[in-house]
């Protein structure tokens, strides 16, 4: 599983002209599921995300977690994180099967919900437009 975590002041996702999810301060997470991933992987990375300390404290040091900040999370499924670009046309042979990916996407969000203020999301498998204001900018790649 791969997560691109962007610390944001706000974020939203639109499908067919309608906003399906929006957050204020927190994380926009692009989530890719690999063929070898499991529910345990999804739960472990969700817990890691909540504990990740990348918000600034009163001294300007990155000491605060999402929970400390009462932050929100916008989760977007993103199979293209598994692109193999050795050739000019990307291959996605390492991405998880869509049924597996959708199940683990849901497990990931269910693990987050009791731990954070709000979990918003896109529509699995849909064409989406994602808007965000990256704070910092601060972007991290987490992998299982």
Give the burial class of 138: count Cβ atoms within 10 A of its Cβ; 0-12 exposed, 13-18 middle, 19 or more buried: middle
Give me the CATH number covering residue 120.
3.50.80.10
Q: Is 80 a catalytic residue?
A: yes
Domain count for the chain = 1
Q: Is 129 a catalytic residue?
A: no
Which of 6, 14, 41, 79 is the catalytic position? 79
Which of 6, 78, 108, 111 is the catalytic position? 78
Q: Is 9 a catalytic residue?
A: no
Average pLDDT value for residue range 24-38: 97
Tokens of 98: 């869509």
Q: Please state, as a whole number, how many other Cβ atoms lie within 10 Å of the Cβ of residue 14.
A: 18
Question: Could you list the residue range(s) of the whole structural domain that residue 91 is in?
Answer: 2-143
Looking at the predicted structure, is the pLDDT value of residue 3 above 90?
yes
- Tell me the whole-structure pTM to 2 decimals: 0.94
- Going from the C-alpha of 3 to that of each of 18, 67, 82, 137, the distances in angstroms are 25, 18, 11, 16
Tokens of 28: 């926009």
Task: Identify the pLDDT of residue 93.
Answer: 83
Q: pLDDT digit string (tens) for 63-122?
A: 999 999 999 999 999 999 988 888 999 988 888 899 999 999 999 999 999 999 999 999
């Amino acid at each position: 599983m791969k997560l691109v975590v962007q610390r944001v002041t706000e974020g939203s996702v639109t499908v067919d002209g309608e906003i399906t999810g929006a957050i204020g301060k927190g994380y926009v997470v692009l989530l890719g599921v690999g063929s070898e991933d499991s529910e345990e992987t999804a739960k472990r990375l969700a817990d890691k995300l909540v504990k990740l300390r990348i918000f600034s404290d009163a001294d300007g040091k990155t000491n605060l977690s999402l929970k400390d900040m009462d932050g929100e999370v916008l989760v977007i499924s993103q199979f293209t994180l598994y692109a193999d670009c050795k050739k000019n046309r990307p291959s996605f042979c390492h991405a998880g099967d869509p049924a597996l990916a959708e199940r683990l996407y849901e497990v990931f969000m269910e693990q987050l919900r009791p731990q954070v203020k709000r979990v918003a999301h896109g529509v699995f498998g849909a064409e989406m437009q994602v808007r965000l204001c990256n704070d910092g900018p601060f972007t991290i790649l987490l992998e299982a």
